[in-house]
Structure 1
Amino acid sequence: MYPLAYGFIASETTDNWTWFMEQLKKAIGDPPLLAVCSDACKGLENAVKNVFPNAEQRECFYHLVKNFQKRFRGFGQIYPAARAYREDIFYDNITKMVSESAEAVKWLQTNHKLLWYRCAFNPEIKCDYITSNIAESFNNWIRDYKDLPVADLADKIREMIMVLWNKRRNIAYRLPEGRILPAIMHQLKANTRGLGHLKIVPCSNWSAEVWDHSSRVERHIVKLHQRTCTCLEWQHTGKPCQHVLAYVTHQRGVDLEQFVHDYYSVNRFRAAYGREIEPMTDKTQWPQVDLPFLVGAPLAKLPVGRRRKLRRKGWMEGGHKKKVSKDGKCTNEGEGEKGCDNDTALTNGKGKKMIRGPMTCKKCGEKGHRQASAKCPLNGTAKKRKRRQPRKNVTKAASAEPSTPRRPTREEILRDSPGRVTRSKLAMLLGEGTSSQTDTTSPVKMPTTTAPKKMTPKRKLHIE
């Protein structure tokens, strides 16, 4: 992507496009080899025709197919017809379309008069693009900054292009001068693989016949000294086709770079990014200029809502899928002026499909709930019930004391004891003795008749 010119207009009209093309002509002049590829916009088509009458006007094949498939179905011959470099292949596919429906071919000739097929392109212009996808790449490049004001947006785009050019300028001066770009050579070397279906019949050191046995037997003539091949791909792109690659790799000691057009050279790459984009200060340091007229606000009426960032997808692509998070909020950006809400969301947080619109109750006819929902006033459950509290396990308090007395604790025994308490006495007081020794119904008293039990030491077991 090589950013060349950009402008800010309110709407795509013939006057605005004419103004833009006039400014572009002041910047690049009127080169003899110029091709302009546009979409199906009539204003842009007329502007290019008026400002650049000698330019080759091309039409984006993608926009053409979208308009074509709205009216006609089942014409797969239009794709190989647009991509073919040879006129005989183009007319063979068009003849098949005429045999199926002459109305479809007549519609193409009436509504799409610009060049949309490769065989009609000028081979001197080393560009075989049939779509304008490169413009969508620039649109996606500046997508995050489209909400800025016009002055800030222009300054941000200038900064991005300045950084891009400086980066590629540094790359250009690291590459060897007089050679072909390494990316092009890497692409050509990758294309040399898988050429076993081609048979070489040499005629001389610079010309040969190449037999293609892939689908049907085809024979092409390759002339290296003239840089021509009868498949015409080499003439249009400037890069050797598969027939040339098969013949060049068949020989020994032949450099592949000499068969690549100078368009892909390092010298051209340096010249493209040799000019520097001047840095600028912020708006506070700009010079004050007294204009003889008053600059007012634009007369165009801005639409309601936020501005669109993503391009409008056609009906063939299915449009943008709206993403909904777990909390039910739309997380997709650039969905247009209205955005999305929970009722029209297509997917939830787990990626499952949801109902497209608000549901309708079959009983009351209101939207927002189902027939068995508690919100319906006709099924008797419209009011929200209070949450049922769990029952508490309430037991009645016993009026009498428990039948078994509570065993006193160690602290109570020591507190109520009149004298010294030995281990045997403490055991008897805690109830560890016999039932005859303790009285469970009488209060605790110190016994006086029981003798203390002798403690015999434990015997140690000696093992040899």
Structure 2
Amino acid sequence: MKMHYTLKFNPRVIQDLEDEDDLDKVVSHSDDFANVYLVDLPCVEGIEANIPNRELAIGGPPVPFPSSNASCDAIPNTMMLSRGFVSRCADSEYTPLESIRFREAILGSGHTFKNAEEFRNAIYQMSLGGRLREINPGTIAEYTSDEGHFMQLFIAHAFSIQGFIKGCRPILAIDSCHLSGPYKGALLSAIAYDADDGMFPLALGVVSSENYEDWYWFLEKLKGVLDGKEVVIISDRHQGILRSVSELFGIGNHAYCYRHVKENFSSFLNKQNIRGKKGKEDALLLLDSIAYARLEIDYNEAFEKLVRFNDNLGKWVVDNNPEHWAMSKFPKKRWDKMTSNIAESFNAWLRDERHQTIYTLLLMHMDKLVAMLDTHMRGTEKWKSVVGPKTEENLMSNIMRSDPISVLPYLGGTFKVFTGEVYLVVDINQRTCTCMTWQMSGLPCSHVCAVIRTLRHDVYDYIDPCFHVSAQHLIYSGQFQPLPTHNMPKVCEDGSLQDCAGNFFSTLQPPHVKRPPGRPRQRRIESQFTHKRAIHCSRCNGIGHNRFKCNNPLP
């Protein structure tokens, strides 16, 4: 049964949009309400919905108007809409909003909104950056538009900027993930490490897709917040990232994520004539030896073994720029960070928020970010020493491995260390070791720990200051104020937006949305090296099948 309603509409409710309640009065929306058309005809509100017969109970509760069944069929004698606007509505699943007041401000380009929440987001986005900068001075919030439509957004909160500059190590992991909300696009991120290798988000961006132009714009803004601090960028080998990082940060500061390199190597390995699972595992172990070798001599030895194993694999290593992912070849200090896993963790951390609209995503991200930062701050109070639990675990491991190492003091603060196989030299004053671990990671290796034990010194005095609790306090020493929304801008008579202070904002339309070809992917493409839980059979206690597929005889 199809019914049409024409209700009286009080125009006074759209005079002032002081808060969200006022906006809800203009456009009521929920799963139980009909879609609303604001029309040119004064004091008229047209509602049209398909109502199931079973809901038309006499004497029962008020009949709901399910928005999922709303129709966009125009009624000319009631709505007085233009032919172009009617055709756009008929071909769209969106519910149009139209009025003299809102036509130029919101529908200037013909875009329509699905519900009042998206309509509110379009208004709020125009002043979001300014309010973030106002509430938290030092915050960088910038966006770009094209012909009035939203294009790019970059946000780096003042708390994150100050924390990174004051105490974080100069290394960042960048990555992107898809947004599955109504406007699609991609979410770009730059993630740092705190004093105990905790995730410390520095900046995020919302762009149309992962391409060179968007990556260059995002990284250009990111470079601007670093205050001239030189950093090492870790990422995958997306062509847009390769080009933009080399142009903005220098090719010598770009480290490739070894996990992605290893997956590419594994794909190439499958095309080679290598028999058996054992052969593939041996080739991957040889690649690990090449990547994690700290000395040039160890790198060459591992590389020669790989060439003897398969000459094509050796050529693959040479052709894929080992100077960007092999430890011994990389020219800068990368603090033993070989992958961009922390950026991947950030993407998974925002898995639910990525389904929201842009404005909702930003607000939810702020709340979630503050909760995580507060957890890290409170966790610092539980540190049992001057370093965090993760750093303490690595340090204790090095101390345990230093027991069988013998030390012979030399002059000038140098020591001859014998591991049982080779002799190494430790310079306690210059803080160097022949194995290069101390220089690369900032933590004393087992050879240095043996020397420190001989000197009866405190091992914590030889740890890089970026791991100390004092650095952690500096990272989390800022303030982060919440973002109030009670006094957001309102739509004026001329279609512009004005806040309570009299500041005007240009109109902004939502981004253009293009539906990608094919069926939307529901599950991400898993890594080849993801460890899956083994299936156990409860009938025979075997591995690799369950009891329903078990063919083994019972004992």
Q: Does the TM-score normalized on the shorter chain lie above 0.5?
A: yes
Q: Secondary structure in 2 aligned to 1:119? A: coil
In the TM superposition, 1:281-430 aligns within 5 A as: 281-282=484-485, 285-288=487-490, 289=497, 291-302=505-516, 308=522, 311-315=524-528, 317=530
CA contact (8 A) 1:57 1:114 kept: no
Alpha-carbon distance between aligned partners in 1 of 2:256 and 2:380, rounded to the nearest angstrom: 32
Q: Which residue of 1 aligns with 2:367?
A: 159
Counterparts in 2 of 1:251 and 1:320: CA distance versus 1, 3 Å: closer
Alpha-carbon distance between aligned partners in 2 of 1:133 and 1:157, rounded to the nearest angstrom: 19
Q: Which residue of 1 aligns with 2:325?
A: 116
Q: Which residue of 2 aligns with 1:90?
A: 299
Q: Which residue of 2 aligns with 1:20?
A: 218
> What one-letter code is carried by the residue in structure 2 that aligns with 1:247?
V
**Of the candidates 228, 233, 241, which is equivalent to residue 36 of structure 1?**
233
Q: Which residue of 1 aligns with 2:410?
A: 203
The alignment status of 1:58 with 2:261, answered yes or no, reads no
Counterparts in 2 of 1:144 and 1:201: CA distance versus 1, 3 Å: same
State the 1:36 CA deviation.
0.7
CA contact (8 A) 1:121 1:128 kept: no
Q: Secondary structure in 1 aligned to 2:483? A: coil
Counterparts in 2 of 1:52 and 1:353: CA distance versus 1, 3 Å: farther
CA contact (8 A) 1:313 1:319 kept: no
Q: Which residue of 2 aligns with 1:237?
A: 441
State the 1:316 CA deviation.
5.2
- Which shifted more, 88-97 or 48-57? 48-57
The alignment status of 1:71 with 2:300, answered yes or no, reads no
Alpha-carbon distance between aligned partners in 2 of 1:271 and 1:171, rounded to the nearest angstrom: 14
**Of the candidates 463, 477, 499, which is equivalent to residue 274 of structure 1?**
477
Q: Secondary structure in 1 aligned to 2:202? A: coil
> What one-letter code is carried by the residue in structure 2 that aligns with 1:80?
S
Counterparts in 2 of 1:320 and 1:17: CA distance versus 1, 3 Å: farther
Q: Secondary structure in 1 aligned to 2:346? A: helix
CA contact (8 A) 1:38 1:58 kept: yes
CA contact (8 A) 1:185 1:257 kept: no
Answer 1 or 2: higher relative contact order, Cα 8 Å, separation at least 6: 2
Alpha-carbon distance between aligned partners in 2 of 1:266 and 1:126, rounded to the nearest angstrom: 21
Aligned-pair identity (%): 24
State the 1:80 CA deviation.
0.9
Gaps of 5+ in 1: 323-346, 355-464
CA contact (8 A) 1:86 1:119 kept: yes
Counterparts in 2 of 1:226 and 1:352: CA distance versus 1, 3 Å: farther
Question: So what's the TM-score if we normalise by structure 2?
Answer: 0.52
Number of residue pairs aligned between Structure 1 and Structure 2: 320
State the 1:176 CA deviation.
11
State the 1:132 CA deviation.
1.2
Structure number, greater radius of gyration: 1
Alpha-carbon distance between aligned partners in 2 of 1:41 and 1:201, rounded to the nearest angstrom: 49
Question: So what's the TM-score if we normalise by structure 1?
Answer: 0.61
Alpha-carbon distance between aligned partners in 1 of 2:419 and 2:215, rounded to the nearest angstrom: 47
CA contact (8 A) 1:40 1:59 kept: yes
Counterparts in 2 of 1:212 and 1:321: CA distance versus 1, 3 Å: closer
Q: Which residue of 2 aligns with 1:225?
A: 429
Q: CA RMSD in A?
A: 3.3
> What one-letter code is carried by the residue in structure 1 that aligns with 2:458?
D
Counterparts in 2 of 1:5 and 1:321: CA distance versus 1, 3 Å: farther
After superposition, give the CA deviation of every residue in 1:137-187 in whole Å (9 maximum; x if it has no partner): 11222223322222111211111112222333455578799x555653454
Structure with the higher fraction of residues in strand conformation = 2
Alpha-carbon distance between aligned partners in 2 of 1:60 and 1:302, rounded to the nearest angstrom: 28
Q: Secondary structure in 2 aligned to 1:12? A: coil
Counterparts in 2 of 1:172 and 1:287: CA distance versus 1, 3 Å: farther
